[in-house]
Amino acid sequence: MRSNFLKHALAGLVLSTALSGAAMAQDVFLMDGVTPSTKDTTVVPAGMFKKDGPWVIGMSHFGVNANTWTVQVAHETEAAAAKDDRIEKLIILDAGFDQAKQVADIEDLIAQGVDAIIVQPVTSTSANASIEKAIAAGIPVVLHTGRIESDAFTTEIQGGAEHFGKVMGDWLVGQVGNDGKIWVLRGLAGHPEDTNRYAGLMQALEGTNIQIVAEQNGDWQYDTGKKVCETLYLADPNVDGIWSSGADMTRACVDVFKAFGTPIPPISGEGNNGFFGQWITEGYPSVSAEYSPSQGAAGVRAAVALLEGKELFKHYDYNPAGWDVEKAKQFYRADLSANVWWPSELPEEKLIELYGN
């Protein structure tokens, strides 16, 4: 009887410890809309990477100048780091969408002895071996904006790319009906975010007779997206709706239809100030999937929490609902350029400095 009592008491202690650990991890704020994954509730133990400041934090960015969103991610990262006096230095290295450069960048950060590394992977495999080297060196690694084919990282914050693509896809299905014909404007070929957003679209199209009559990569850029849409329009302008993986491509495609004087078909968008202004002015049917550049700030907060010795979950999700035009109106700023992305955590003075008209 005493043995059974001890067995139950020990079981209760283990359960209590697990629950208290989860509660502590649950208390760490990373970003509005970011929540612990419900599929994997693994917890990074408290104190595992605790280290007194001042700290040097490194970041391997997949491509700072890829488009206006990636530029703002760097700005959001820098602003978050500047708010914490314990961060002595933030080092952002730009892989320029080059896998070999990303490997070299992460190994450079390890050699510099940084206290934590934030990684935005170029591809699902480009950073794996280097991340493993960082962990072996005792450096925590925070992953965001793209999954990898390894679980060596310390914690990840993943804007659910499938969710993002499905939010757009579900809306478009409702617009074009069961038998519609659509164009698909994808992002950068090979990037995990593009692959997974497209997978979300495929989920939305399951069980319908919707035909993808054209599919091209616009690289998430205005200029490339415009060329793609012009080519598609000249080949066959008859399309019921357009699934666009990014707002810069959406704006470009809308401008193509306007140039040809043709009604704008339903087209998906994203939380970009230029897109919001165009959407509000032109009144075409659209939805805005949310993908905040403040994920850069969330990465800094996750790194700081680990260095403070706090518990974190290993996996975090970011799966916000789509926005309608009324919500877009609440964020749109006519006094700022088209290059701002919402929601943002940049302070007002920074928004004016970086993006004021």
Q: How far apart are CA 281 and CA 135, in angstroms?
A: 50
Comparing 21 with 33, the larger pLDDT belongs to: 33
Rounded to 10 degrees, the C-alpha dihedral 281/282/283/288 comes to -80
Look-up: residue for tokens 């992305």? 341
- Angle 5-7-12 (CA atoms, 0-180°, nearest 5)? 95
Residue 41, C-beta contacts closer than 8 angstroms, at least 6 positions apart: 22, 313
Can you list the domains of the chain with their CATH numbers?
Answer: 25-159+293-319 (3.40.50.2300), 162-270 (3.40.50.2300)
User: What is residue 159's three-state secondary structure?
Assistant: strand
Of 46-50, 188-192, 344-348, the poorest mean pLDDT is in: 188-192
Q: How would you write 115-153 as a 3-class SS string?
A: CEEEECCCCCCCCHHHHHHHHHCCCCEEEECCCCCCCCC
β strands within the chain, DSSP E: 34-36, 43-44, 55-61, 87-94, 116-119, 141-144, 155-159, 181-186, 211-217, 241-244, 269-270, 288-289, 312-313, 315-318
Mean pLDDT, all residues of the chain: 91
- The tokens for 192 are 């995990």
Looking at the predicted structure, is the pLDDT value of residue 12 above 70?
no
> How many whole angstroms separate alpha carbon 241 and alpha carbon 261?
17
343 prior amide bond cis, ω within 30: yes
What percent of the chain has a predicted confidence (pLDDT) above 90? Answer: 83
Average pLDDT over residues 11-30: 54
Rounded to a whole number of angstroms, the CA Rg of the chain reads 22
If we measure between CA atoms, which residue out of 28, 93, 6 comes closest to residue 57? 93
Which two three-digit tokens encode residue 126? 């480009």
- Give just the sign of the alpha carbon dihedral 15, 16, 17, 19: positive
SS (H, E, C) 231-251: HHHHHCCCCCEEEECCHHHHH
- Please write the tens of the pLDDT for every residue from 128-184: 999 999 999 999 999 998 888 899 999 999 877 899 999 999 999 999 999 999 999
Question: Whole-angstrom Cα distance, residue 357 to residue 336?
Answer: 5
Q: Tell me the per-residue pLDDT of 305-336, one tens digit each, with 9 for 90 and over.
A: 999 999 999 999 999 999 999 999 999 999 99
pLDDT, tens digit (0-9, with 9 covering 90-100), for 181-222: 999 999 989 887 899 899 999 999 999 999 999 999 999 999
To which H or E segment does residue 78 belong? helix 68-82
| The pLDDT of residue 13 | 35
pLDDT, position 11: 38
pLDDT in tens, 223-237: 999 999 999 999 999
